Structure 1
Amino acid sequence: MPAIKSLTMVYDALNEDGTFSEGDPIRGKVTLVVEKPTAVQSFFVKVKGDAHVRWTTRSGNHNHTHSANRRYFKLKQFLIEESANETVIPPGVHVYNFNFTIPSTSMPSSFRGTHGKIVYILEAKLSRSWKVDKTADKVIVFHSKSFPHLQSLMLRQVAEKDKELGVFSSGKVHMEVTVDRMAYAPGETAVVVAKIRNSSSSDMTPKVRLSQVIVYTASSSTKHENRTINKMAHQIIGPHSEKEVKWAVKIPTNQEPTIKNCEIISLEYILKVYLDISFAFDPEVTFPVIIIPPDLASASQQAVSGPSWGPHSSDFHPAAASAPCYPPSTHRYEGAQPYSVAPPSYPANPSGYAGPPMAWGFNQGISSYGSPSSSRVLHPPPNPTAFYPPTSTFPPPPSAPVAHPGSSAPPGSHPHPSAPSYEPPSYMSTTNFLSQSDEPPPAYSLIFPSSANDESGGNK
């Protein structure tokens, strides 16, 4: 009869989807069922996050393997400390609690692909002399909330394209395309509107395609994967006619979030609107699409549409507060006419403006554990190893008299000067890719920091 009957582990979910993000706590318990006294060398729980890529190329008669690994964090908590003298566990059911806090630094979302993966694992491990280790593990789903300038991603995108047709047809075509925003959660719908003026002698079919682009990087080599997520076509537009077409492009409910904060795996989405013309190069415009977690999308939309932009108490993770800013490019194509978009309203007193909240941190409740049954032995978690000093307290600064508008200042006093006018930040304006040429689509480095020298590529 084996000495250890079973080793199981459960953790407390923070939301309906059971996902975790930067700065979230992970609490749970490990249950060990022992049939007879057992000597244990060590017993611990650990949680870690890793990224791996691997693929093989063939050159002549030789195969070359490309691989790379990245570790984002690893935390360990001992339930039974490792020592030279083994600890004897008596027969019975033993329950151990554990408690971790995921680091607040930016880390990529969970992902599994053909040539790589990003995994976050919770594992319990019991070691004994001259015995095989007993383990229990759980894969946790991690959704990154590190998206700089999230609110600006909720503004619409606009682009236009002019193209002269020749050889088999004459005339030209003009296309203006608007996408309601850039960031979407899985299950949401992108609204695409195209105004097309066909001044040529050819028929053309408007089409839209949402594609996924994955790039694996290892040893300065890259491996690309392109996949079509959704593709739709509209009715044919005849020669010398104008038409406005609309599409509702659905984002699949199981779609993986965008990944641009991993050095070895990049996951992007491209929305392309084009005119399918026989015997001609198809005019097209492209837009970046960002897939974000559902709770992050709803919070950012409320923040954009909310009436208040004034001071507020921040609930965001330290990663959100320290995330770098990446302003959009100021490049404008020659001859392009800017679109008129009403800027968001701001309070009259600019000194109280705290800027748009970069909302990717949330207060999430944690369910508590009930008392164990009388037949079980409850082991409290070990003492914390880290010391957290108390926060220093500083007295508030003395208040200064304020001269209100319309009131006369007493003799000898100096009224405060009027506040300077406030100009809305450039990233809050509508993203505008005007008069696109045949160059590749806009780079994601406008939004995310580039983590590796990836080779860009895409299919028409």
Structure 2
Amino acid sequence: MPAVKCFTITYDLLNENGTFSEGDIITGNVTVALQKETKVQSLYIKAKGDADVRWTRKRGDRTYTYYAHRRYFKLKQFLLPEDADETALSEGIHVYKFNFKIPTGSIPSSFRGTHGKIVYKLEAKLSRSWRIDSTAEKEIRFVSKSLTNLHSLMTQQIGSTKKEMGLFSKGQVHMDVVTNKKAYAPGETLMIVAKINNSSSSEMIPKFSIIQNIVFRARGDTRHENNVIHKVVDSSVKAYTQKEVKCTMKIPRDQMMTIQNCEILSVEYHLKVYLDISFAFDPEVVFPLVIIPPDLAPGHLNGGAIGGPSHSDFPSPTVSMGPYPASPKSGSYRYRGAQNNSTPPPAYPSSPLMYAGSPGVYPPQPTRMYGAYNNSPRAPSPYGSPFSSSSSSSVLHPPPSAPAFHPSPSAPPIQPPPPRLSPTAPMYNLMPSAPAMNTDFLSLSDEAPPAYSLLFPSSSPENSDAK
């Protein structure tokens, strides 16, 4: 009766795909089930990654073998004391935990092909005196994330081709092709748009193919292997017609990744869009494709969010950007996003209703008054004018506090203010109104109009006395 009943390896998954990458930590258990007490010399587990290629080529009567090997890492952990001669294990089940950290750096993804492979695995060995060693293996799927310039792989690809027809037809054909990006994860959809201008007397059929190209290298020789992953055939394009063809092709979910960081083998993909023309060379456009891990796909990096940045020139309506005129002739202001924001607009102590009213609360102002005020020579305000539309100012600030003035529709027009004003003088009324007067000017038609100083008393008594 054999002493070792069961010898297995199990490891913990890090993601739903069951893959590991550079820098990940592999944790798991080695289980030994014994049917009787057994003396063990050593028990250890290894984690390693190797690449191998091999093929033969016959030249004349001789057959040549080409092979190459690369090792990317090898880690070893003893589960029983290494320096012990023998360790007695009792009958029953023994579980030993292990952990390995995969080295960082550029390591190729797992691969299995006709003439080569890249394999990552865990290997445990139980050694006993005068007995055959017990071994257990567990292959792990490794996916490399050492990609450079990932952002550049998410841009559109554009290509075109032109062909002059030959002996059996006349005219020419022109084709423009656009793809949405260059890098795709397994399960993603490749979108292609082809615009075909058939100015010839021949019919042609648009065809789309995703092709896998594998190259094995060893001792100065190479071995190529091409596979068509997916192919789509569209309807024919008649002679002397134009047609826009839209094609979608889904990358298989089990498709292996692009491998460009292994010296002895490479796996690359390309998209071929061509026009099948009878009795003529087919014009084609070829785009490179890169199959990337699902974790590096844009939808996964953005938390599954779909869509890109907004290209609108206007800010979001829910963000208040400060006051701005609702109309050039309206004396009211409104706040951007006030309809969607529960917070009321700010109230200013001198004129609480001036910025809180909705458009149309105040009567329209005479155009000449609006222009005369803005064009009057005065010291520039440190906050800028809310009526200004200059593009040099990117932020609009609320105006400073000003004395409260009440509009009077029956008041006479206001003359322009003096050429110079003190910077510390308070702001005058923006509306075409005058201070309330107790004198009835209509009944004093024979008298001279009131002096300007009565209408606008100077705010600086010292200056008035001096005059």
TM beyond 0.5: yes
Q: Name the larger-Rg structure.
A: 2
Gaps of 5+ in 1: 309-341, 343-405, 408-460
Deviation string for 1:337-390 (max 9, x for gaps)?
A: xxxxx9xxxxxxxxxxxxxxxxxxxxxxxxxxxxxxxxxxxxxxxxxxxxxxxx
Superposition map of 1:410-421 within 5 A: none
1:72 maps to what in 2? 72
Does 1:257 find its partner at 2:276? no
Amino acid at match of 2:59: S
How far residue 299 of structure 1 moved from its aligned partner, in angstroms, is 3.2
Instruction: Report the Cα distance in structure 1 between the residues aligned to 2:280 and 2:163, rounded to whole angstroms.
Output: 10
2:113 pairs with 1:109: no
Secondary structure at the residue paired with 1:260? coil
Which digits, 9 at most, give the CA deviation of each residue in 1:173-223, with x for residues without a partner?
111100111111112210110001111121111111111111111111111
Name the counterpart of 1:215. Answer: 215
Give the whole-Å Cα distance in 2 for the aligned partners of 1:299 and 1:256: 19
1:14 and 1:144 map into 2 onto residues whose CA distance is 15
Q: Would you say 1:56 and 2:56 are equivalent positions?
A: yes
**Deviations, residues 72-122 of structure 1 (Å, cap 9, x unaligned):** 001111011333622222222211110111111111111111111110011
| Bigger shift: residues 66-75 or 299-308 | 299-308
1:41/1:83 contact within 8 Å kept: no
1:124 has 2:121 as partner: no
Distance 1:165 1:306, change over 3 A: closer
CA-CA distance at 1:7 after TM superposition: 1.2
Indicate if the aligned counterparts of 1:67 and 1:218 stay in contact, CA closer than 8 A. yes
2:294 corresponds to 1:289: no
Note the C-alpha offset of 1:301. Answer: 6.4
C-alpha separation in 1, matches of 2:95 and 2:231: 52
| SS of corresponding position for 1:44 | strand
CA shift digits 1:149-175 (9 cap, x unpaired): 112211111111122112222211111
Q: CA deviation at 1:49?
A: 0.5
Shift of 1:8: 1.5
Aligned counterparts of 2:247 and 2:302: Cα–Cα separation in 1: 21
Secondary structure of the residue that 2:300 maps to in structure 1? helix
Cα 1:272/1:301, change in 2 over 3 Å: farther
Supply the AA of the counterpart residue of 1:299: H
How far the C-alpha of 1:37 sits from its partner, in A, is: 2.6
Q: Distance in 2 between matches of 1:67 and 1:38?
A: 42
Alignment partners' CA distance in 1, 2:199 and 2:308: 43
Q: Give, in whole Å, the separation in 2 of the partners of 1:276 and 1:33.
A: 64
Q: Distance in 2 between matches of 1:188 and 1:223?
A: 30
1:47 equivalent in structure 2: 47
1:185-200 correspondence to structure 2 within 5 Å:
185-200=185-200
Q: Which residue identity does 2:29 align to in structure 1?
A: K
Structure 1 residues 307, 168: closer, same or farther in 2, change over 3 A? closer
- The separation in 2 between residues aligned to 1:64 and 1:272, in whole angstroms, is 35
Specify the SS of the correspondent of 1:153.
helix
Larger RCO (CA under 8 A, 6+ residues apart): 1
Q: Secondary structure of the equivalent of 2:253?
A: coil
Q: State the match for 1:414 in structure 2.
A: none
Match of 2:412 in 1: none
Q: Distance in 1 between matches of 2:214 and 2:290?
A: 14
CA distance in 1, matches of 2:307, 2:74: 39
Amino acid at match of 2:281: F
CA contact (8 A) 1:151 1:301 kept: no
CA deviations over 1:400-432 (Å, ceiling 9, x no partner): xxxxxx99xxxxxxxxxxxxxxxxxxxxxxxxx
How many equivalent pairs are there?
311
Identify if the C-alpha distance between structure 1 residues 205 and 229 changes in structure 2 by more than 3 Å, giving closer, same or farther: same
Q: Match of 1:170? A: 170
Q: Which amino acid aligns with 1:16?
A: E
CA distance in 2, matches of 1:34, 1:107: 38
User: TM (normalized to structure 2)?
Assistant: 0.64
CA distance in 1, matches of 2:23, 2:289: 26
Pairing of 1:319-330 with structure 2 (within 5 A)? none
Report how far residue 307 of structure 1 moved.
Answer: 5.3
CA RMSD of aligned residues (A): 2.0
Instruction: Give SS of 1:299's match.
Output: helix
Name the SS for the 1:80 alignment partner.
coil
1:306 and 1:237 map into 2 onto residues whose CA distance is 35
The 2-side partners of 1:280 and 1:119 are apart by 45
1: CA distance, partners of 2:302 / 2:157: 16
Aligned-residue sequence identity (percent) comes to 59
Q: 2: CA distance between counterparts of 1:154 and 1:21? A: 22
CA distance in 2 between counterparts of 1:167 and 1:96 reads 76
Inter-CA distance 301–115: structure 2 relative to 1 (3 Å threshold): farther
C-alpha distance in 2 between matches for 1:37 and 1:206: 72
Contact kept, 8 Å, 1:151 with 1:300, in 2: the verdict is no
Taking the aligned partners of 1:304 and 1:67, their CA distance within structure 2 comes to 47
What pairs up with 1:223-234 in 2 under 5 angstroms?
Answer: 223-234=223-234
Partner of 1:350: none
